[in-house]
Copies of this chain bind each other. A is one copy, B any other.
Amino acid sequence: MSVTSTNPATGEQRALDLEETSPERVAAASTRARRASHEYARRPLDWREGLLGAMAEELEADAATLVATAQAETALPEARLRGELARTAFQFRFFAEVVRDGAFLGASIDEATDSPMGPLPDLRRVKVPLGPVAVFGSSNFPFAFSVPGGDTASALAAGCAVVIKAHPAHPATSAACFAALDRACDRRGAPEGLVSLVFGLDAGTALVQAPAIAAVGFTGSVAAGRALWALAHAREVPVPFYGELGSANPLVVTAAAARERAGEIGEGVAGSIALGAGQFCTKPGLVFVPAGPDGDALVAALGARLGRDGRVTLLSEGIAENFRRGARSLEVDGGASVLVGGEWGEAAHTSARLLQVDAGRFARESALHAECFGPLAVVVRYGGVDELRTALDAAEPALTFSAHVAEADPDAAWLVEWGASRAGRVVVNGYPTGVGVSWSMHHGGPWPATTAAWATSVGAAAVERWLRPVTYQSVPPDLLPAALRDENALGIPRRLNGRLDPGA
C-alpha cells in the first residue's frame, strides 16, 4: 500500500512514492540495525560526536525544504516549525556534548582491596549500549519528537542504532528528515543500517516485536502507547518500553495570586493552552481557580484571550475528531459547562474551548480527569484549600504541575511539595509548555503520564534509557574498554574507590 500525505489545512491528499513497510522488511531493517549497532558501539566516542554534529548540519542545510514539507502536513505556522527545527539541530549538538562529557557512561573503578568482608577483586563498571532502539515519533512535533527527535538523538548518543516508525500524519516530513540523517551517515561512513525508517501501522507492530529490537521509545497517545507497551512485554524476550503518553498537567492559581494578578495569569494561562493549538503534551489542561470575584476575573481574562483565535486547524482530521469526542465527553459525561466554545468545525478544523466545573464535581467524576488533546482546558473552581486538595488528589499523575502563587503565599509550600509527589516537573509562576533541552530537564512523570517514571525523553538524562551497566572483574588493562583504564585518556568523570573525580 502506498503512503499518503494529507494537508490538514486543505484536506488535500497526495500519494507519496513510498510503500508501507512489510513485516519482513521491518525484520530485515532490525537485523541490519543489530549489526550496525554492534559496529557503531565499537567506534570511539568522538566518532559518535562527529556523527551527531553532521546530523545537525544536514538538518540545517535542508531547513527550507523541511519546514515547507512539514507546514503542508501539519498546518503549524512557519515560524514555529523553523524554531522547532533549530531546536532539533541544537538537540543533536547537545547530545554530542553529553557524549563528550562522558558522565553518562557511569564509569566507576574499585581497585582490588582487603575489605572488612575479606579481599575484593578489582571491579570496574561502565555502561554499554542496549542495541537497536525502535523510535515512534509523535504527531505534534514533526521534528523535535519525531524522526530526528530526542529519542533518535539520545539513542545514537548512547551508541545504539535506531529504526524509526514514521508518524502517519507527516510521512513526507519523516522521509525528508530521514534523508537528512541518512546523508550525515553517508558523509561520515556510518555502519550500514544505523538509522532506518519504516511506514505503516503494521510495520509499527512488527517493529516492537522484532527480536533484534532491544528497546522502544514512544511519544504519543495513551491508547497507542499502552497497546505497544503491552506488546513489548508480551515478547518472548521483553524489552524496555519508554512511553511518554501526555497528561492533563494541573495548574493551580492560589487565592492570593488571583487577588494579586488575575488578568495577567488569565492571559498567560490562555497563551499556554493555545500554543500549537493546544497540541502539546505539557498543555495545562486543568486550571484550578478560586471561587469568587478574583477567580471570576481571572477566568474572564482567560476566556477572552482563548476565544480570540477563532478557527484553528489541528494536526490531522483524526486528531480533530478525537478532540471533538473528548470535549463532548467532558461536557456530557463530565457535566462541565462551556465558557468558551466556538464552532465544532469539520475535518481538521475546530475552535478553542474553555469548560468549567466546581471542585466537588471534579473530585467525584472521573470522566473529567482525562486529557483532551487540543485547544481546551477545564477550569476547576474551588472554595478553599481543603476542596482544592481533594480535587487535586483526584487528578491523575502528570508530566507537569504548575502553581501560581503570591509573595509569601501560605499555599506555596504545600503546593510545590504536592506537585513533586505527582508530577515530573513543578513550575512556579510560569507555564509548563516549553520543554528546554538541558542538563536539568526532566520530561516524564508517574504512570499514566509515562510508562517508566525514572526515565526522561528530554534533556541529557534521556540517554540513560538506552544503556545497561557491565562490571569488569579482574580484567587485565589491555582488555578493558578505554573508559575504565587507569589513565582515563577520555577525561571522563569517574568514581575511583568511591571518590568522585569530575574528569578533564
Q: Contact mask A99-139 → B, CB, 8 Å, 1/0?
A: 00101001011100001111011011100101000000000
Interface residues of A in 455-504 (CB under 8 A from B): 456, 461, 464-465, 467-476, 479, 481, 493, 495, 497-503
* Cα of A130 to Cα of B453 in the assembled complex, Å: 9
A397 and chain B: residue at smallest CB distance: B237
Q: A468-B454, A469-B442, A469-B454 known; A117 and B475 CB under 8 Å?
A: no
Asked whether any CB of chain B lies closer than 8 Å to the CB of A87, the reply is: yes
Interface residues of A in 411-450 (CB under 8 A from B): 412-413, 416, 420-421, 423-430, 432, 436-442, 444, 446-448
Asked whether any CB of chain B lies closer than 8 Å to the CB of A310, the reply is: no
A474 contacts B428, C-beta separation under 8 Å? yes
* Cα of A413 to Cα of B495 in the assembled complex, Å: 25
Asked whether any CB of chain B lies closer than 8 Å to the CB of A11, the reply is: no
Interface size on A, residues (CB 8 A): 82
How far is the CB of A462 from the nearest CB of chain B, in Å?
11
Asked whether any CB of chain B lies closer than 8 Å to the CB of A395, the reply is: no
How far is the CB of A63 from the nearest CB of chain B, in Å?
14
* Cα of A471 to Cα of B437 in the assembled complex, Å: 13
Residues of B within 8 A of A472 (CB): 416, 420, 425-426, 428
Residues of B within 8 A of A240 (CB): 452-454
How far is the CB of A458 from the nearest CB of chain B, in Å?
10
Asked whether any CB of chain B lies closer than 8 Å to the CB of A83, the reply is: yes
A474 and chain B: residue at smallest CB distance: B430
Asked whether any CB of chain B lies closer than 8 Å to the CB of A335, the reply is: no
Asked whether any CB of chain B lies closer than 8 Å to the CB of A344, the reply is: no
User: Quick one: which of B38, B87, B125 contacts A442, CB cutoff 8 A?
Assistant: B125
* Cα of A481 to Cα of B421 in the assembled complex, Å: 13
A90 contacts B108, C-beta separation under 8 Å? no
Residues of B within 8 A of A237 (CB): 447-448
Chain A residues within 8 Å of B, Cβ to Cβ: 38, 83, 86-87, 90, 97, 101, 103, 106, 108-110, 115-118, 120-121, 123-125, 128, 130, 233, 237-240, 412-413, 416, 420-421, 423-430, 432, 436-442, 444, 446-448, 451-454, 456, 461, 464-465, 467-476, 479, 481, 493, 495, 497-503
A sample of 19 cross-chain residue pairs with beta-carbon separation below 8 angstroms, ordered by A number, consists of A38-B421, A103-B500, A109-B440, A120-B436, A240-B452, A420-B472, A424-B468, A425-B471, A426-B471, A428-B472, A428-B474, A428-B475, A440-B495, A442-B471, A453-B468, A454-B469, A456-B469, A493-B500, A500-B503
